[in-house]
């Protein structure tokens, strides 16, 4: 068996975010549903961009945000995703490597540009996303560094990848390699609309391939067409080893076998932008999990990281997360020099 010298390796869309402030009305005028992610083609992306105010650009991508967070927490992280060899691709690669995460997927030298996500932040701090997948959608099994996957304790996959057939095949191939090498597989359901688009295959995936599941209330109820959160909880219980279900300011619930651990939300300041809340929840959870912490501790670090990222604009933490964990949870983080 390959030595486990990486804590978490993630596969996801490699995206640069364009954050803009927008009024509620803008969402309605453009047929967007608040809090969700809509896929757009290049023309739609250009048209939307042309109608919004000045933006702030920052690396994003759901799994990429999670892996950046794990690296910032001191975990040994790797990311697999596809950019183009263009300026935004260069920014994405710089930013994820600068967190300490490994990122070696070669940039595409032809085809669509690096993926962009236009994130509309409304006055209530909610984010609504329009994603042009660009180069990201071309991720296929040939791009996978399976040797890196084999070295990870946990392989983390974002549900958004399901929107591309090639990426979906890459996703399943990677899950099989991870399992074959004694690793665990974690999945984030990503978005309720994404769950709607791929409900059956997500259900099969959860039953057959997933050890740790991350989902928010809308996503888990969509997955099982449940009438309530409680009903969804009963549906998912026992289908995977651990399910961490988030409910925004109502905190989260961590399920494992018959256990249920309710976790309180953490408030560190005024709510500015919810972009990245779920991604950083998963970062905190998986970091604690791969450090051998109990589930309650996993949930607490998850809540803390999510609570931090919503106090700032953008999905990558601008503060030192290790220092935050020390201060709020009294954790002594292992030093970064333990990374391979």
Q: Judging by DSSP bridges, how do beta strands 184-188 and 77-80 pair with one another?
A: unpaired
Please tell me the distance from the alpha carbon of residue 248 to that of residue 275, in angstroms, as a whole number: 12
Smallest separation, CB 145 to its own copies (Å): 21
Q: Considering the complex, what minimum distance in angstroms separates the CB of residue 207 from its own copies?
A: 37
Query: Among residues 98 and 256, whose Cβ is nearest to its own copies?
Result: 98
| Closest CB to its own copies among residues 118, 242 | 118
- Integer CA distances (angstroms), 26 to 22, 32, 221, in order: 6, 8, 28
Instruction: Determine whether 80 is exposed, middle or buried from the number of CB atoms within 10 Å of its CB (0-12, 13-18, 19+).
Output: buried
- The pattern of x and - marking residues 93 through 132 that bind its own copies according to CB under 8 A reads -xxx-xx-------------xx------------------
What 3-state DSSP class applies to 34?
A: coil
Shortest separation between residue 327's beta carbon and its own copies, angstroms: 16
Minimum distance, C-beta of residue 314 to its own copies, in the bound complex (Å): 7
Q: Which is nearer to its own copies, 75 or 299 (CB)?
A: 75
Closest CA to 159 of 322, 13, 56, 52: 13
Is 315 exposed, middle or buried, given 0-12, 13-18 or 19+ CB atoms closer than 10 A? Answer: buried
Q: Are 181 and 1 in contact (CB under 8 A)?
A: yes
Residue of 29, 41, 42, 57 interacting with its own copies (CB under 8 A): 57
DSSP state of 84: B
Contact status: 244 vs its own copies (CB under 8 A)? no
Count of residues touching its own copies (by CB under 8 A) = 28
Q: Is 54 one of the binding residues for its own copies (CB under 8 A)?
A: yes
- Taking the CA atoms of the chain, what radius of gyration do you get in angstroms? 18
Q: Is 250 one of the binding residues for its own copies (CB under 8 A)?
A: no
Q: Could you give the CA distance from residue 2 to residue 75 in angstroms, rounded to a whole number?
A: 18
Q: Of 44-52, 171-179, 253-261, 328-336, which segment contacts its own copies by CB under 8 A?
A: 44-52
Of the candidates 5, 42, 47, 87, which one interacts with its own copies according to CB under 8 A?
87
Using rule CB under 8 A, residue 201 touches its own copies: no
Question: Smaller CB distance to its own copies: residue 13 or 248?
Answer: 13
Q: Indicate the Cα dihedral angle 226, 212, 164, 112, nearest 10°.
A: 130
Tell me the window of 50-58, 171-179, 247-255, 258-266 that interacts with its own copies (CB under 8 A): 50-58
Q: Residue 147 Cβ, how far from its own copies at the closest point, in Å?
A: 25
In order of 83, 136, 251, 315, 321, the CA distances from 70 in angstroms are 21, 22, 20, 13, 9
Residue 182 gets the label, from left (phi > 0), alpha (psi -120 to 50) or beta, of left
| Min dist. Cβ of residue 94 to its own copies (A) | 6
318 makes contact with its own copies (CB under 8 A):
yes
Instruction: Please identify, using beta-carbon distances, which residue of 182 and 269 lies nearer to its own copies.
Output: 269
Q: Choose which of 2, 44, 91, 336 interacts with its own copies (CB under 8 A).
A: 91
Residues between 135 and 164 that touch its own copies (CB under 8 A): none
Judge contact between 187 and 161, C-beta under 8 A.
no
Q: How far is the CB of 88 from its own copies (least distance, A)?
A: 5
User: According to the binding rule CB under 8 A, does residue 340 interact with its own copies?
Assistant: no
CA contacts within 13 A on the Cβ side of 39: 14
Rounded CA separation 31/78 (Å): 36
Report the interface residues with its own copies, using CB under 8 A. Answer: 18, 21, 49-50, 52-59, 68, 86-88, 91, 94-96, 98-99, 113-114, 313-314, 316, 318
């Amino acid at each position: 068996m390959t030595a486990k010298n990486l804590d978490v390796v993630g596969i996801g869309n490699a995206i640069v975010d364009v954050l803009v402030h927008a009024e509620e009305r803008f969402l309605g005028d453009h047929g967007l549903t608040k809090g969700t992610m809509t896929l757009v083609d290049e023309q739609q992306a250009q048209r939307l961009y042309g109608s919004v105010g000045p933006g702030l650009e920052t690396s994003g991508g759901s799994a990429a945000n999670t892996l950046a967070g794990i690296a910032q927490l001191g975990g040994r992280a790797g990311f697999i995703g596809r950019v183009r060899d263009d300026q935004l691709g260069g920014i994405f690669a710089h930013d994820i490597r600068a967190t300490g995460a490994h990122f070696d997927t070669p940039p595409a030298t032809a085809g669509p540009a690096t993926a962009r996500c236009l994130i509309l932040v409304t006055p209530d701090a909610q984010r609504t996303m329009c994603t042009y997948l660009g180069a990201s959608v071309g991720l296929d099994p040939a791009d996978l560094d399976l040797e890196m996957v084999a070295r990870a304790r946990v392989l983390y996959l974002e549900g958004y990848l399901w929107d591309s057939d090639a990426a979906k095949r890459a996703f399943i191939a990677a899950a099989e390699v991870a399992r074959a090498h004694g690793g665990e597989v974690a999945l984030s359901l990503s978005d309720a609309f994404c769950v709607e688009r791929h409900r059956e295959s997500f259900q099969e995936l959860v039953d057959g391939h997933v050890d740790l599941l991350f989902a928010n209330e809308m996503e888990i109820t969509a997955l099982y067409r449940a009438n309530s959160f409680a009903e969804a909880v009963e549906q998912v219980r026992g289908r995977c080893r651990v399910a961490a279900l988030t409910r925004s300011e109502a905190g989260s619930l961590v399920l494992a076998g018959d256990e249920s651990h309710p976790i309180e939300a953490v408030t560190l300041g005024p709510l500015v932008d919810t972009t990245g809340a779920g991604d950083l929840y998963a970062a905190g959870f998986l970091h604690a999990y791969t450090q051998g912490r109990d589930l309650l501790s996993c949930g607490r670090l998850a809540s803390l990281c999510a609570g931090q990222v919503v106090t700032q604009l953008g999905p990558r933490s601008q503060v030192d997360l290790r220092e935050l964990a020390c201060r709020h949870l009294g954790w002594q983080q292992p030093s970064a020099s333990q990374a391979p």
